[in-house]
Amino acid sequence: MKTESNGSSANRTSITVDIPVDDRRLFRTAVIDDVLTLLSRNHDSEFSMTDLATAVDRSRPAVTKAVDVLSSNDLVVTERRGRKRLVRINRERLSVPDDPYFRIPQSEFHDPVRTAVETLGDELDGVVAIVLYGSVARGEADRRSDIDLWVLVEDDRMENQREANRVRRHLEDESFDTGRYAYEIDVEALPAVPNYLPELREIVRDGIALYETEAFGTVRNMILRGGTDE
């Protein structure tokens, strides 16, 4: 059996689950879904139990139980390293599309999001990452939903935000095959990231990074782990 992100397209992120499942608690709690989603979207990273609890904003006991269930079903790999128990997604069961836009669950948003990301990347200076978040990233959007984008830049937030506002107005005048769309584009600069960790953690945890430089890996880890160590 293959579970997929809100759809049946083979191009979307999916993970293979054996039937019958080895541990029937797999589909019972939202914590398991939160942990599986986070590890799938950060499939090159491993987390301690403390870091994982911080990242998904759940209690450590609840996260530990979720990891036990996922491990029983061979969906995650755990390892003891000293006093820490580390966990990562089982990459042998995970399928991730090469094109990050296919990770957006609702296909009608692919073109308007792609156009926005490509335009922002061209027009803004020092872009480190562009992350889609909110209802569109979760696959819960309707035609009244804004396309929410968070743009991380190296510096000069004010000037880049002004340019992003200009891009937003242009995008909202553009007509796609599925109509016109409203956008919300927020720009933040690297030096300010430590001041907004709780707010940014939700964006990075639930969002889809559609553009990122190598430097964003370090920033993502800092945001998700919150500076904690087990």
pLDDT (tens digit per residue) in 3-54: 444 444 456 778 898 888 888 888 888 999 999 999 998 888 899 999 999 9
Supply the pLDDT for residue 227: 54
CA 57 to chain centre: 15
Cα distances from 23 to residues 5, 17, 65, 70, 189, in angstroms, run 21, 11, 12, 8, 44
164-208 per-position pLDDT tens digit: 999 999 999 999 988 999 999 999 999 999 999 999 999 998 899
Residues of the chain with CATH 1.10.10.10: 14-95
- The fold adopted by the segment(s) 100-225 is Beta Polymerase; domain 2 (3.30.460)
Q: Which residue is it, tokens 């035609």?
A: 143
Please provide the CATH number assigned to the domain covering 14-95. 1.10.10.10
70-116 per-position pLDDT tens digit: 999 999 999 999 989 999 999 999 988 888 899 998 999 999 999 99
- Amino acid in the structure at residue 76: V
Distance CA 170, CA 174 (A): 7
pTM of the model: 0.80
Contact 30, 62 (CB under 8 A): no
Backbone phi, psi, residue 193, to 5°? -55, -45
Backbone phi, psi, residue 166, to 5°? -65, -40
Residues of the chain with CATH 3.30.460.10: 100-225
Helix (H) / strand (E) containing 69: helix 60-72
